[in-house]
Structure 1
Amino acid sequence: MANLVAAAERRRSMTISSSLNAGVAGLAANATQLATISDNIANSSTYGYKRAVTDFHSMVIDGGSGSYSAGGVRVTTNRIIDETGALVTTSNSTDIAVRGNGFLPVTTESDVATDNGEEAMLLTTTGSFRTDEDGILKTESGLVLMGWPAEADGTMPEFARDTADSLEPVQINVNQFAGEPTENISLGVNLPATETESTGEGDSLTLPIEYYDNLGRSQSLTITFTPEVSTVVGTATNSWSMTIEDSATVGEIIAAYDIEFADDRDYGGTIENVTANTATETIDDVDATLASVYDATTGILTVNVDGGPIEIDIGATHDSAGLTQLSDSFAPTSITKDGSPVGNMTSVEVDSNGYVIANFDIGISRVVYQIPLVSMSNPNGLTSLDNQTYEISSESGSFYLWDAGDGATGDIVSYALEESTVDVANELTNLITTQRAYSSNAKVIQTVDEMLQETTNIKR
């Protein structure tokens, strides 16, 4: 009988002790939840902050027949990284945010300062980037934006998408000067039809056209039109010769053509035929052909100036938009060309496809970098670091670098920052329930203490 009483007493003691342990575990669990709530509320105005949550998990201890042992509770905390916040508008063109599920590649200022070319890639979803004294785009907290560098002409080469080795800090002041050489000229000129008649004077007509060389310097092509005067009274040849001189080579003739215009009712005044003058001229002791072949379909002829080829569009056969021979007036009707002199960079912006575009005071824009968006297999498996940055871990899985706007990563929004994902009202509600739960667990401990005191008093 005494043994049965002793066994019952042990079971009762174990049950009471488990209740005490469960109460203590409840206090610790709710203290952990209070910590996450406090962190969330403190960062409710932090751009790019992702809220942390606490999950409770019950613990069951097998008690035995006629008794129950409280297992208590344990907690796990995690950050909801794949949750996106609302975007707010700013006045800075390099305030950028991801609209979608992708991440911006960044690194730390200290990594860049080591200058070893092996910056570790971190991830973030938003940032207020501005240039420092070296022209590097970074935040006040020292996060440096990473991207792929463009070629000198603004085109983007191909880069491997499953590695971050080709990414480098975005540094824009190295491209503070830019110019574009002239590569295309469109020529719309009317030649007087009366000049090739037998009564014509045969005077040459000149047309200087400015172009920009590879160094952004102003040069000029001087195009000379000379009519072939008819030797038969009352007739016209409708034929002209055209020579082109380049000021960059001290006015040497670089191309020559014979042009014949149509005089029929359907196509009168338009180009009928263009023949390249295959005469040669000795230039620097080398015999050079003075003209390239004219393409009758496109209307383009190519001349080689000192800095390289320029395509001149004089109009296709029977096209009234190029060279014409009408009436008795010499009139340049339309002359257009590309290229520009050297200009200073005035501003930088980031478009929705992640291109970092430098704008210059001469009216041109040039792509200097491309910012990819990083997709993760498991974003919530990333390791959280300071300043709303994340580090790739074994739990986050593999990554891939997408062009912004492609794939499932979304696009990039400039003049914008991402707000915190914290809902303050929800956190305050959780705060109330956590406080009540903490008080209840404390009450359990107090009750167990009183019961143990009563057990002790039995011996009196």
Structure 2
Amino acid sequence: MSFNIALSGLKSSANDLSVTSNNIANSATYGFKKSRTEFADVYAVSAFGNSGTAIGSGVITSGVTQQFKQGNMDFTENSLDLAISGEGFFVLKPNLDTLEPTFTRAGAFTVDKDGYVVSSAGEFLQAFQVNDNGSVKSTSLSSTQPLRLPAAAGSPEATTEVDIGVNLPSSEPELDPANFDPTETNTYTSSTSVTVYDSLGEAHIANYYYIKDATATTDGGPVDPEGKNKISNAWAMVTYVDGKPVNLDDVSAPDIAFLDGHPSQKDAASVSFARVIFNNDGTYQRTSPPSPITGTVVPGNVQLAGINLSTTNGANDLKLSIDMANNAPTQFASAFTVNSLSQNGHTVGRLTGMDIDDTGLVRANYTNGESLALGRVAMAKFANSQGLSQTGNTSWRQSLASGTALAGQAGTSNFGSIRAGALESSNVDITSELVHLITAQRNYQSNAKSIETFNAITQTIINIR
């Protein structure tokens, strides 16, 4: 009987050594929860036994229980690295068709070739569906869907309005707009450009050239030799898109300034332009309701200022409205500056990044300025976490001992919050485990010594004559 007692001690000590060794081996495993070996004594009892003289029959391993103590946070630069601060588990599914989920605390997620967010083992991270404002539609575990990041978002929208605010230097010499040539910098005063988009989302470069105008008159005719009809402080603005001149529509009341009641005139020369006229103090003053200058990129094959123009991609004609209502131009004795320059079109948005807040709301950001709420990371917890069944890859499945998973949002109903750009370290205390390893080794050696002693006693009995 003594041999069996010692053997039970050896077996239990070996189990303890194995559990401790496994803890040490996973001390650097993200999301790992250490285990503890628990023992129970063994007694052979009967209804007629005397408890005062009962001798134990050894020891058994009564259980190996995981300790779900919070691990430390390791902060990273990856927005898809997620850690849970508090209670709860991430919900995963091994494939898109699986109904039974698995659960993990290891939040090292990546994006696969199809845009799905997956764990290091390739399991799909589950998320609650959300409305446009980020509110959750349902927190039922059965309603979760694999979290996916669309590579593109939205539809293209053609630019219809360009908002320009500039300062045009008052000290610049006057030029004749009829001599304008975009390749000759001495034929214009200043220029700026902005990217605009057609109906197919293709980008185009719109260039705006400013010429301090020596030919502006109040009657639209040539300048009087005595200069009586000449308008001072006038600028011509010429627009090109993708190197092609824009033909301004015939506008009777364009959104440009008036000087002493005289509207600006559209030049009849081969170069199509609009005039911007300033008051003597350098300010731009409107004296009638605004009506934007509009223009259309000349389609087909048309000769304009000696340049052959043709359309290219089948998109609708690009019509631009130049708006000076919000940011009026100025003419001061300072350098040419662009105070504002914007347009209202955009192409299809391409994914540039994502944000995950502490409630698990996932927002994807796109190049067209859109930000879409894609879902809210699903969380689950259990009445008895120690009853979960381990599946490997730092994951668990629910069991009868754990109870049914309770789903919920991070940061609510005793669920922990989510930290993006962080990973939860193993909760193994390596120092404690090494000390425990020595203790388990001593226990094993002691039980081995018991066997050695029993063997010596047995040998003594055998040698009695």
TM-score, scaled to structure 2: 0.58
| Equivalent in 84, 93, 96 of residue 79 of structure 2 | 93
Q: Kindly provide the amino acid, as one letter, of the partner of residue 413 in structure 1.
A: R
1:215 to 1:120, Cα distance in 2 relative to 1, 3 A: farther
Superposed CA deviations along residues 59-98 of structure 1, whole A, max 9, x for unmatched, are 2234659965331111133333531100101111101111
The one of 432, 440, 447 aligned to 2:453: 447
Determine if the alignment matches structure 1 residue 29 to structure 2 residue 34. Answer: no
Within 1, Cα distance between the matches of 2:52 and 2:62?
Answer: 32
Q: Work out which of the residue numbers 355, 363, 379 in structure 2 matches 1:357.
A: 363
Letter in 1 for 2:77: S
Alpha-carbon distance, 1:244 to partner: 11
Q: 1:339 and 1:166 mapped to 2: Cα distance?
A: 38
Match of 2:105 in 1: 125
CA apart distance, 1:243:
12
Structure 2 equivalent of residue 366 of structure 1: 372
- Equivalents in 1 of 2:6, 2:136: separation in Å? 63
Q: 1:426 aligns with which of 424, 432, 443?
A: 432
Contact 2:153-2:370 within 8 A present in 1 as well? no
* Counterpart in the other structure of 1:158: 137
Partner amino acid for 1:143? E
Name the residue aligned to 1:103: 89
Counterpart CA distance in 1 for 2:123 and 2:345 is: 36
Whether 2:412 is the aligned partner of 1:409: answer no
Residue by residue over 1:346-388, the C-alpha shift from the partner in whole angstroms, topping out at 9 and shown as x without a partner, is 1123221111110112333211121122121111111111111
CA distance, structure 1, for counterparts of residue 109 and residue 375 of structure 2? 14
Matched ranges for 1:63-74 at <5 A: 68-74=54-60
User: What is the CA-CA distance between 1:340 and the residue it aligns to?
Assistant: 6.8
Q: How many Å separate the matches in 2 of 1:338 and 1:166?
A: 41
Relative to total residues, which structure has the larger strand share, 1 or 2?
1
2:103–2:395: 8 Å Cα contact kept in structure 1? Answer: yes
Alignment gaps of 5+ in structure 2:
158-196, 204-252, 255-287, 295-323, 329-339
Per-residue deviation, residues 262-310 of structure 1 (Å, max 9, x unmatched): xxxxxxxxxxxxxxxxxxxxxxxxxxxxxxxxxxxxxxxxxxxxxxxxx
CA distance in 2, matches of 1:339, 1:358: 21
Deviations 1:397-427 (A, max 9, x none): 2332222121211111111111001111111
Asked whether the 8 Å contact 2:43–2:54 carries over to 1, the reply is: no
Alpha-carbon deviation of 1:217?
A: 11
- Contact kept, 8 Å, 1:178 with 1:344, in 2: the verdict is no
Q: In structure 1, which of residues 115, 123, 145 is the aligned counterpart of residue 125 of structure 2?
A: 145
Distance 1:340 1:372 in 2: 36
Residues 65 and 419 of structure 1, relative CA distance in 2, 3 Å threshold = closer
2:38 is paired with a residue of what secondary structure? strand
Q: Is the 8 A contact 1:121 1:164 kept in 2?
A: no
Q: How does 1:10-409 map to 2 (within 5 A)?
A: 17=1, 19-62=2-45, 68-108=54-94, 111-112=95-96, 116=97, 118-151=98-131, 153=132, 155-156=134-135, 158-159=137-138, 161=139, 163-173=140-150, 176-178=152-154, 332=326, 341=346, 342-409=348-415
8 A contact 1:359–1:366 mirrored in 2: yes
C-alpha separation between the residues in 2 aligned to 1:331 and 1:137? 46
Runs of at least 4 residues off by over 6 Å: 214-218, 241-245, 337-340
Q: Verify the 8 A CA contact 1:178 1:360 in the aligned structure 2.
A: no
- Residue 156 (structure 1) shift: 4.1
- The CA deviation at 1:139 is 2.6
Q: Distance in 1 between matches of 2:289 and 2:450?
A: 104
Q: Does the Cα contact within 8 Å between 2:129 and 2:137 map onto a contact in 1?
A: no
**CA distance in 2: counterparts of 1:78 and 1:65, whole angstroms:** 29
Q: 1:406 to 1:244 in 2, by over 3 A?
A: farther
Unaligned runs of 5+ in 1: 1-16, 182-211, 219-223, 226-240, 248-329
2:241 is matched with which residue? none
Percent sequence identity is 31
Task: Go from structure 1 to structure 2 and tell me whether the alpha carbon gap of 1:180 and 1:415 turns closer, same or farther (over 3 Å shift).
Answer: farther
Separation of aligned partners in 1, 2:70 and 2:369: 37
Moved more, 163-172 or 404-413: 163-172
1:126: how far off? 2.5
| Alpha carbons 2:40, 2:59 under 8 Å: kept | yes
User: 2:26 touches 2:426 (CA, 8 Å); kept in 1?
Assistant: yes
Give the paired residue count: 306
Distance 2:117 2:289 in 1: 52
CA shift in 2, pair 1:420/1:217, >3 Å: same
When you count helix as a share of all residues, which structure comes out higher?
1
RMSD after superposition? 3.8
CA–CA separation in structure 1 for the residues paired with 2:448 and 2:289:
101
- Distance, in Å, in 2 between the alignment partners of 1:244 and 1:407 is 57
In structure 2, the CA distance between the partners of 1:362 and 1:34, relative to structure 1 (3 Å rule), is: same
Q: Note closer, same or farther for the CA distance 1:340–1:440 as it changes in structure 2 (3 Å cut).
A: farther
State TM-score, norm by structure 1.
0.58
